[in-house]
Amino acid sequence: MPRFKAGNTRAKNPVKTFKRLFAMVFKEHKIVLCVVLVSIFLVAFATSYFSTFMQSIIDDYISPLIGNPNPDYAPLMHAIMSFLIIIVCCQVIPQYIQQRIMIKVSQGAMLTMRKNMFRKLESLPISYFDRHQHGETMSRFSNDTDTLNQMMSQALVQVISASITIVFLFCTMLMNNIILSLVVVFFIFLMFRATGIVAGRSGRYFAVQQGDLANVNGFIEEMMNGQKVIKVFTHEEESKKDFDALNDKLNESMSKANTYANAMGPVSANMSNLQYVSLVLIGSLVTILTPSYTVGALAAFLLLSRSLSNSVSQIAQQSNSILLALAGAERIFELLDEESEVDDGYVTLVNAKIENGEIVESSERTGFWAWKHPHTDGSKTTYVPLKGDIVMDHVDFGYVPDKTVLHDISLYAKPGQKIAFVGATGAGKTTITNLLNRFYDIQDGKIRFDGININKIKKADLRHSLGMILQDTNLFTGTIRENIRFGRLDATDEEVEKAAKLANAHEFIMRMPNGYDTMITNNGEGLSQGQRQLLSIARAAVADPPVMVMDEATSSIDTHTEALVQAGMDRIMENRTVFVIAHRLSTVRNSNAIMVLDHGKIIERGDHDSLIEEKGTYYRLYTGAFELE
């Protein structure tokens, strides 16, 4: 079974990605981010101040009390209270503020990111979804945004805070003692070398883990969608074995990844402990040999070194998650940078009416539509009645430039005519209907709608004039009324019910628990295929388009339901231009013209009787004991 991958877990250009991400976030949250930066500096100052305070406490307050028969603890208590106030004001409160702000900033950024991604998704051409698996796109909305949220709300702030704190601490350490500072630099170098080796191996296994996790999630999604097929073919045990194999592989990669990841903490801690012991030994010698270097100064330096080690460990531990999040951000930006569907049309569809024998635009819904055609030569705008006159003139098309799937297709459909396409799977029937909607643009030839080249018509207006009933019906979570109204959002309840009656759907809808207000979930779970198809027909009927495209609309339902669906389709086909794709040739007998396609070419055309008389491909298909597959 096919698997989808989560994508690379390392960014190709993390610096560029970070700059873009920062620019996007800073643009919307510049003021609060400045507050966060100030709070980070305050926390760094408080951390370094703590060590100097300890030196003062030991040298100025505690040492004089040693051996004093009448010790006065008031100055010591006053100093401690002053220290507590400074810590609360410069560390506790700023940390709380920065955490609250970053949670709000990260959630706001994710809100904007998801909104931009969904808007981009809705603007992408159909070809994008042909090239990308759904699971891959979904992982950008879920996995990538989750890792990015974790980075922005926690990891990034911790790394920035730790980096600034390191600068404050190291400057304070240099002022305290240069020799001990060099010892700290040596151990930090060793710590980075050790954690770098561990992090590198951990990162490689995390990359494998992400791919294995995507495979497990993809397999579960496939199994959930295909439960009926699994049970029909009693494939349960084999599915369990396949899942166990994938799950074992995920377990192995996760175990290795987390083994190395969890080793980073002990490695850093032990290096820090070794550094601490070394500083105590060397610092004791410095204190003994240098009378001006006090015990309080050594204690302060030891605190500084401990804080510095903690900050360095914090950076090491968070760096991997930041790199993973930047890889997620890079994949999100790749989606946002995808080229949107190009629409260079300028002819629009407008409500119209006739005044003084001429067609003019109307601001109200009149039921009479016209193409508003502003001419590029500067002459006045003309209005062409929307009739449904379709002409394809020597059309060539290929999904990729070097592979043509339609060859020299020429046909016409006058208003109110029914044109049928028959042929084997892959002959090009559905491709022709996709070109009418401009889901794809042709390589050569012309397609005209009411005499207007469809490349000049805005895609949204073109698609408003076309209705489609597909073999695979898509219903959305919501009420039956809302699903029918999907065809035209401003349709009234009366128009919705009228469309349902026209499609023969009203009767079964009224038998539902809440009638038109019955909720539909999981693409119409609980409805039969025929009922779902009737809702699809009602949805097309409420749109009231002059041109209808019916792609295998009755191929997957039983004969009785087909008669019901066919009756509904016949009603909405009246006085419309209709393109029909059908495997059951009995459903196309009354077509005005039947096009027989083979390998992207029209090999026969004519009405049913004339094609039967020719005794060609259509004759053999119609009189044979089989239907097209």
Per-residue pLDDT tens for 506-562? Answer: 888 999 889 999 998 877 878 888 888 888 888 888 888 888 888 866 655 556 666
**What is the pLDDT confidence band of residue 1, given thresholds at 50, 70 and 90?**
very low
What's the confidence (pLDDT) of residue 364?
85
What's the confidence (pLDDT) of residue 44?
85
What's the confidence (pLDDT) of residue 554?
60
The owner of tokens 């004093």 is 68
Q: Which residues pair with 580 in a beta bridge?
A: 420, 550
Q: Find out whether 54 and 296 touch, Cβ atoms under 8 Å.
A: yes
Asked whether residue 3 carries a pLDDT value surpassing 50, the answer given is: no
**What is the pLDDT confidence band of residue 454, given thresholds at 50, 70 and 90?**
very high
Asked whether residue 7 carries a pLDDT value surpassing 50, the answer given is: no
What's the confidence (pLDDT) of residue 233?
67
Asked whether residue 4 carries a pLDDT value surpassing 50, the answer given is: no
For range 346-350, the mean pLDDT: 91
From 502, 497, 498, 560, select the one nearest 529 (Cα to Cα): 560
Side-chain half-sphere of 98: how many Cα atoms within 13 Å? 26
**What is the pLDDT confidence band of residue 625, given thresholds at 50, 70 and 90?**
very low
pLDDT, one tens digit per residue, over 267-303 is 777 777 888 888 889 988 988 888 888 888 888 888 8
Please provide residue 595's backbone torsions phi and psi, each rounded to the nearest 5 degrees.
-105, 120
Q: Tell me the pTM.
A: 0.73
For range 25-46, the mean pLDDT: 86
For range 20-30, the mean pLDDT: 85
What's the confidence (pLDDT) of residue 510?
92
Q: Find out whether 162 and 312 touch, Cβ atoms under 8 Å.
A: yes
Highest mean pLDDT among 137-146, 408-417, 425-434, 529-538: 408-417
**What is the pLDDT confidence band of residue 627, given thresholds at 50, 70 and 90?**
very low
Amino acid code (one letter) for 320: N
Asked whether residue 345 carries a pLDDT value surpassing 50, the answer given is: yes
Parallel, antiparallel or unpaired: strands 593-598 and 418-423: parallel
What's the confidence (pLDDT) of residue 200?
66
| Bigger pLDDT: 88 vs 161 | 161
Asked whether residue 626 carries a pLDDT value surpassing 70, the answer given is: no
Asked whether residue 54 carries a pLDDT value surpassing 60, the answer given is: yes
Side-chain half-sphere of 72: how many Cα atoms within 13 Å? 5
State the average pLDDT for the chain: 83
* CATH class belonging to 14-336: mainly alpha
Q: CB neighbours (10 Å) of residue 131?
A: 8
From 158, 161, 114, 156, select the one nearest 138 (Cα to Cα): 114
**What is the pLDDT confidence band of residue 568, given thresholds at 50, 70 and 90?**
low
Specify the range with the lowest mean pLDDT, choosing from 84-88, 263-267, 419-423. 263-267
**What is the pLDDT confidence band of residue 564, given thresholds at 50, 70 and 90?**
low
**What is the pLDDT confidence band of residue 17, given thresholds at 50, 70 and 90?**
confident
Residues in the chain: 629
Q: Where are the domains of the chain?
A: 14-336, 348-385, 390-623
Asked whether residue 136 carries a pLDDT value surpassing 80, the answer given is: no
The SS3 assignment for 87 reads helix
What's the confidence (pLDDT) of residue 203?
62
From 348, 423, 434, select the one nearest 395 (Cα to Cα): 434
According to DSSP H, which parts of 372-510 are helical?
429-436, 459-464, 480-485, 493-502, 506-510
Asked whether residue 395 carries a pLDDT value surpassing 90, the answer given is: yes
Q: What CATH number labels 390-623?
A: 3.40.50.300
What's the confidence (pLDDT) of residue 446?
93
Asked whether residue 351 carries a pLDDT value surpassing 80, the answer given is: yes
Domains 14-336 and 390-623 in one fold: no
Specify the range with the lowest mean pLDDT, choosing from 54-68, 172-186, 290-304, 350-364. 54-68
Q: Find out whether 12 and 330 touch, Cβ atoms under 8 Å.
A: yes
